[in-house]
Amino acid sequence: MPTSIGHALAGAAAAWSVDLVPGRRAWRTAPPAASWYRRAGNGLTLVCVALAAVPDADLLFRLHRTFSHGIGGVIVVGVLAGAIAALTNRPAVRIASMCAAAYGTHLLLDWLAVDLMPPYGIQAFWPFSDAWYISRWIVFRQIERARLFSAATLRLNALAVAQELVVLAPMVIVIWLVRVKALARLAAQMSRSDHPAE
Ligand SMILES: [Zn+2]
């Protein structure tokens, strides 16, 4: 299973990818001089980062990789996020898709990871199926949660993080750069339509 670092990166990538979908997204723009936090999409991007990591909170309840790692979790997150967005007069479909996509990346990354503890993989289609799924393509390493500060565990987990960065960081950087360009173009269009005579 990937680390929370890998999951967090995927959550940010999901939020920024949904920003590339045309539609009502002017509120996601920020001037180039704005803080990194605003340019990265404020608290909503942070929420997506958290949503991408939160399914592993099931470790606390000894129900790891079961219902929180299924499509049912993605649907619940999407519906809740859409309802909160609608109640606060924000674009419900966009916010629902963003949050559901961020949560969904957790399932995708876990599916693509080594799992040495049977039953292998995740209950990806819970509650529609109790079956366990794991990909044949292994992209991410197994991390170790026992004896966290032993040299062997630190080395194993450092390698896992390094592999996650090698796979995910280039994707995240490309999505970020494309998003910066797309939102800057959108901001320029908006300011032209605000000042048509200029
Ligand atoms: Zn997980």
**CA distance linking residue 132 with residue 120, whole number of Å:** 7
SS3 of 50-116: the string is: HHHHHHHHHHHHCCCCCHHHCHHHHHHHHHHHHHHHHHCCCCHHHHHHHHHHHHHHHHHHHHCECCC
C-alpha 65 – ligand 1 centre gap (Å): 6
Per-residue pLDDT averaged across 29-43, rounded? 93
Question: Residue 43 Cα, ligand 1 centroid: separation in angstroms?
Answer: 23
User: What kind and span of H or E run contains 13?
Assistant: helix 4-18
Q: How confident is the model at residue 196 (pLDDT cuts 50, 70, 90)?
A: low
pLDDT at 194 over 60: yes
d(CA 120, CA 114): 9
Q: How far does the centroid of ligand 1 lie from the alpha carbon of residue 189, in Å?
A: 41
What is the per-residue pLDDT across 63-122, written as a single tens digit (0 to 9) for each? 888 889 999 999 999 999 999 999 999 999 999 999 999 999 999 999 999 998 889 999
Distance 57 CA to ligand 1 centre (A): 8
Alpha-carbon span 77 to 83, nearest angstrom: 10
Each residue of 121-157: pLDDT tens digit? 999 999 999 999 999 999 999 888 888 889 999 999 9
Q: Ligand 1 centroid to 139 CA: how many Å?
A: 14
Task: Enter the DSSP assignment of 126.
Answer: T
> How far, in Å, CA of 76 to CA of 94, rounded?
15
Percent above pLDDT 70 for the chain:
98
Q: Distance from the CA of 113 to the center of ligand 1, in angstroms?
A: 10
Regarding predicted confidence, which is higher, 4 or 59?
A: 4
C-beta of residue 14 within 8 angstroms of C-beta of residue 95: no
Q: What is the pTM of this model?
A: 0.92
Q: Residue 30 Cα, ligand 1 centroid: separation in angstroms?
A: 33
